[in-house]
Amino acid sequence: MSNHQNQRDDSRASLELSEMTLQSQDTDIATATPTRGQTDRIRTTEAKSQGRLIRERFFRHKGALAGIALLALIFLLAFSSIGFAGLPGWWNKEYDVLAARFNEGRPTLTLWPFSLGEHPFGQDVLGRDYFALTMRGTQTSLIIAFIVGLVAMVIGTTVGAVAGYFRGWTEAFLMRITDVVITIPTVVIAAAVAGIVAKAGIIPFAIFLGLVTWTGLARLVRGEFLSLREKEFVESAKSVGASSVRIIFRHILPNTVGVIIVSTTLAISGAILLETALSYLGLGVTAPDTSLGKAINDNRSALTVRPWLFLWPGAFIIGIALAVNFIGDGLRDAFDPKQTRVKQ
């Protein structure tokens, strides 16, 4: 969104920077006389670490900031309203308690004047409070998405790093395994896996989803390793006798962190959509757990008369995925400024 702004800021910043450098050099020469201590105070440029540059670029990306704000809001709402893991929340209704339907179960949320009412998101067919249910589903979907992202990151990075660094038979073997998994469309392999573990609860379900969605990251990390392992700093690390583990973790991996973070972010937004799609097909989260996809699937038949049962969980799915995607875009720009180069 804010690329244009960024670009202008960038160029202005670099202009200022070069002017300042010139100035400070002048002062350096001018004051290259007895009073040594003064030069340090006059010097106006400051060294910026790589991390700081990335941070600054990221915080200039307005879409990414909006994404962070939205995601934080959703997190806060979902975990504070109905509570989590035994901790109570501020919302007074349970997601699994049946009650009499109030006004056909219509949502009581009004924006102006703002009031939540008895059932802000309405009630489902059985009279359960749909706000509590949606919050519960949001919790589940978020937990699943983050675990999937984490597992995919760990496996993808390890496989990619080992294959890219050691090459030879190891690489051939690992990459053929990646090819095998990649041949099966994600929805298909995830559906098959979901059949095995979905009944065991959401955590095993999420871990298994992570076990089948690491392939893209493995390929990217391997590509990075292939080029980095030929660099001089790896050569010099080898020459002073650093072990392979040390070279991989201390010397190469920090250089691939951008690729890893960006694709993990995108894997998380993919996982939200994957989990909800599987739950919608009836292959994902099973009762008594609920998720955003399951909520929509459960109320599929009541759609024409009670559209809010469909719209609210959908809005939360889109909100989460959109926020994560924007954060991913901001991170990509921050780690890889080449991509936002202006054309002539």
Partner 1 sequence: MFYFIAKRSIISFFIMLAATTLMYFLTISSGDPFEDLGETSGPEKAATIAARTAAMNLDVPPIPRYFLWLQDVGHCLVPGGVSCTLGQDRTGAAVLPQLENAMGSTLRLVVVATVLALVLGVVVGIVTAIRQYSTFDYSVTFISFLLFSLPLFWLSTLLKQYLAIDLNTWLANPQFSYATIALIGVVAGVVWAVAVGGDRRRRLVVFGVAAVATALALYLLLVTGWFVDPGLGVVGMLVSAAGVAVLWTALLAGFRRRRVLNAALAAAAVGFLGYLASIPLLEDPNWLAVLALVVVMTAVAYVVAGLVGGPFRAQAAKIGAVIAVSVSLLIVLDRLLQAYPTLSAKAGGRPIPTTGSQSANLEGTFWEINLDYALHLILPTIALTLISFATYTRYTRASQLDVMNQDYIRTARAKGLSERTVLVKHAFRNAMIPITTLMAFDFAGVLGGAVITEQVFGWNGMGKMFVDGIQNVDPGPVMAFFLVVGTAAVLFNMLADIAYAFLDPRITLS
Q: Considering beta carbons, is residue 135 or 278 the nearer one to partner 1?
A: 278
Is residue 293 within 8 Å of 205, Cβ to Cβ? no
Residues 193 and 187: their CA atoms lie apart, in Å, by 10
Among 191, 217, 220, 252, interactor with partner 1 by CB under 8 A: 191
Residues 166 and 184: their CA atoms lie apart, in Å, by 27
**187 in contact with partner 1 (CB under 8 A):** yes
311-330 footprint of partner 1 as x/- string (CB under 8 A): ---x--xx--xx--xx--x-
Please, what is the minimum distance in Å from the beta carbon of residue 135 to partner 1? 18
**82 in contact with partner 1 (CB under 8 A):** no
Please, what is the minimum distance in Å from the beta carbon of residue 193 to partner 1? 6
3-state secondary structure labels for all residues of 290-314: CCHHHHHHHCHHHCCCCCHHHHHHH
Q: Considering beta carbons, is residue 91 or 291 the nearer one to partner 1?
A: 291
Q: Write the DSSP assignment of 103-135 as a string of letters.
A: GGG----BTTTTB--S-TT-B-TT--BHHHHHH
Q: Which stretch binds partner 1 (CB under 8 A): 30-38, 97-105, 253-261, 300-308?
A: 300-308
Residues 90 and 76: their CA atoms lie apart, in Å, by 12
Q: Write the DSSP assignment of 178-226 as a string of letters.
A: HHHHHHS-HHHHHHHHHHHHGGG-HHHHHHHHHHHS-HHHHHHHHHHHH
Please, what is the minimum distance in Å from the beta carbon of residue 307 to partner 1? 8
The backbone torsions φ and ψ at residue 305, rounded to the nearest 5 degrees and listed phi first, read -85, -30
Among 22, 30, 53, 342, interactor with partner 1 by CB under 8 A: 342
Residues binding partner 1 (CB under 8 A) = 1, 3-4, 7, 63, 176, 179-189, 191-196, 269, 273, 276-277, 280-283, 293, 296, 300, 303-304, 307, 310, 314, 317-318, 321-322, 325-326, 329, 339, 341-344
